[in-house]
Structure 1
Amino acid sequence: MAVDPRTLGWLARALNHEMSAVQQYLAQSVLARLWGDVELAARLRAEAIEELEHAERLMERQILLGVAPSGGQLPVVRLGRNAQELLAHDHQLEVQAVQLYADALMHARRLRDQDSTALLQSLLAQEREHLEHIAHTKSAGAST
């Protein structure tokens, strides 16, 4: 089966983003734990695990398409001096994810690639939920 190289590119970008998110949330979890904010640390660790599950789904799709997954080079983790700064960085990360998945989804739909469309729709919905949760948390001024 011939695979559109642009589809592979979108999947690679998405995987790189998810691996970056895993790294960021996990590092922030460690930082929050060092601050003594156990609740925030647990929430951030749970986010890292969820992003890892997204990466796993993308890897599965790449393997099914005959491509060896690669997370590429990951950007530096965005930390902060307090919970609000962490949330601001996480908000930015999720905005990027929503835009990435929306663009990738448009491409998959144009090609009528039903399997990639289903995957990308699901991931987009989950990233939108993350974004809404972060926005709500930021507006509430809470760390969880």
Structure 2
Amino acid sequence: MQQPRVHPRTLGYLGRALSLEYSAVQQYMTQANLADVWGLREAADRFRHETVEEMRHAERIVKRMLGVGVVPNSSQLRPVTLAGNLVGLLRQNAVLEAEIVALYDEATRFCQSIDDGESAEFFQGLLNDEIAHAEEVDAWLKSLSGFETKGWNDRAYF
């Protein structure tokens, strides 16, 4: 079976996407465990759910890469970003989600511009998921507004 030809820049987007998704997995997994240490069971469960979602994205990217005939390679994991409390963690996650959204938006627009509808559709699906993730993080942050100044969530143990 002949592999479809994919623009080199599209392959670059796939590689960066895989790196960001694995970075998100690492970050959410670490934050889930930190939330457990803090006794924030609900937050830990939410972070674990996000870990699974990001792993699903990574799996989709790996399948896509294999489907176009390239070996999956995540070349650069971002370091985990932590904070001393839940609000700080969520702010870090908002930054990461914004970066992922920007990448998928750029990749979608590029693939559309070169008439690669299959890749554009692939990235658009990931973009839709990540926009929803970003909105969830923002909603969670808004639900906690005002708490950070009351000292209730000062929990750093690192």
TM-score of the aligned structures, taking structure 1 as reference length: 0.95
- Structure 1 residue 30 corresponds to structure 2 residue 33: yes
- Structure 1 residue 5 corresponds to structure 2 residue 8: yes
**Structure (1 or 2) with the larger CA radius of gyration:** 2
The residue type equivalent to 1:23 in the other structure is Q
Name the structure 2 match of 1:95. Answer: 98
Which residues of structure 2 form unaligned runs of 5+? 148-158
Runs of 4+ aligned residues of structure 1 deviating over 4 Å after TM superposition are none
Q: CA deviation at 1:110?
A: 1.2
Q: CA deviation at 1:61?
A: 0.7
Name the structure 1 match of 2:65. Answer: 62
Which residues of structure 1 form unaligned runs of 5+? none
Number of paired residues?
143
- Distance in 2, matches of 1:135 and 1:3, equals 35
- Distance in 2, matches of 1:39 and 1:136, equals 15
C-alpha RMSD over aligned residues: 1.3
Q: Which has the larger share of helix?
A: 1
- Distance in 2, matches of 1:94 and 1:37, equals 22
Superposed CA offset, 1:25-54 (max 9, x none):
000001001111111001001001000100
Q: CA deviation at 1:55?
A: 0.6
Q: CA deviation at 1:58?
A: 0.7
